[in-house]
Amino acid sequence: MGLGTSIRKLWQLRAGVVASVALALVAAVWSVEKISLSPPGLTPRSLEMATASTQVIVDTPRSALLDLRQDTYGLSALTNRAVLLGNVMASPSVRKSIARRAHVPVESLQVAPPLTPKQPRALAETGNQKRTRDILKLNDEYRLAIQANPTVPILHIYSQTPTAESARALANAAVDAMRTYLADLAESARTPQSEQIRLVQLGPAQGAVINGGIEWQVAILAFLITLVASCATVIFIARIRHGWQLAELSERPAGG
């Protein structure tokens, strides 16, 4: 009877380990794929993260950077103008134009304007608010961060998307959308060409994936965590059942 009980316990433990491995495999697949039951299928999760960056000089038609007749006060005014343009780039109208040029959903695009000592926190524009649930879909989001150089009229544009190609496209689209916005504004105000702001992009955006191989890392980590937790649960339940059996035997009459 004791041998049969031991064999039964070993089979139960083995079944528990097999179930734990199966559950860990499901968790590993779920961590990198979206499992759909109706209709049944798997959709890859966006786990990779890519970034790109470019720089833009805010200049005048008669370049203030090359013309020695321009004084430092002119450069200071252009630096302040760069901060203004960075904030305009985060406005709803320009944000929609950027999303359209980059072929990304406008509701998934967030633009962070440049921060200054006078404005240390970004203003919450419509459709640009940060929510707690954004943490769960961080890699599915398209983000632009605009930084203004405090000493020279240069804007640094950083993009974050799921792929390197979309990151480059988003950063370049920000520059093109801002140029179009300024051109339309100058045309509506009938501003002469000689008095318009000029945006000079210092080369096209360069981007790359910054967390390559993240799918395998996440899958292995999910598998190990689930397997350890499941096996620990199986052992814990087995010990509780064994304790109940010992207590039941100790309560039986000696003759039984």
**CA–CA distance from 248 to each of 3, 171, 201, 251, 256 (Å)?**
19, 71, 81, 5, 12
pLDDT in tens, 73-124: 567 888 888 998 999 998 999 999 999 999 998 988 999 998 765 555 555 4
pLDDT band at 126 (very low <50, low <70, confident <90, very high): very low
Instruction: Please give the span between the terminal C-alpha atoms of the chain, in angstroms, as a whole number.
Output: 15
Is the separation of the CB atoms in 64 and 216 below 8 Å? no
3-class SS letters over 125-187? CCCCCCCHHHHHHHHHCEEEEEEECCCCCEEEEEEEECCHHHHHHHHHHHHHHHHHHHHHHHH
Q: Which CATH architecture has domain 50-209?
A: 2-Layer Sandwich (3.30)
Q: Which of 71-80, 92-101, 219-228, 239-248 has the highest mean pLDDT?
A: 92-101
Average pLDDT for 164-187: 92
Nearest in space to 197 (alpha carbons), one of 77, 114, 103, 27: 77
**C-alpha to C-alpha distances, 256 to 248, 249, 252, nearest whole angstrom:** 12, 10, 7
More confident residue, 42 or 148: 148
Q: Which residues contact 216 (CB under 8 A, 6 or more apart)?
A: none
Please give the structure tokens belonging to residue 34: 């979206």
**pTM of the full structure:** 0.65
pLDDT band at 139 (very low <50, low <70, confident <90, very high): low
Mean pLDDT check: name the lowest of 9-13, 77-81, 123-127.
123-127
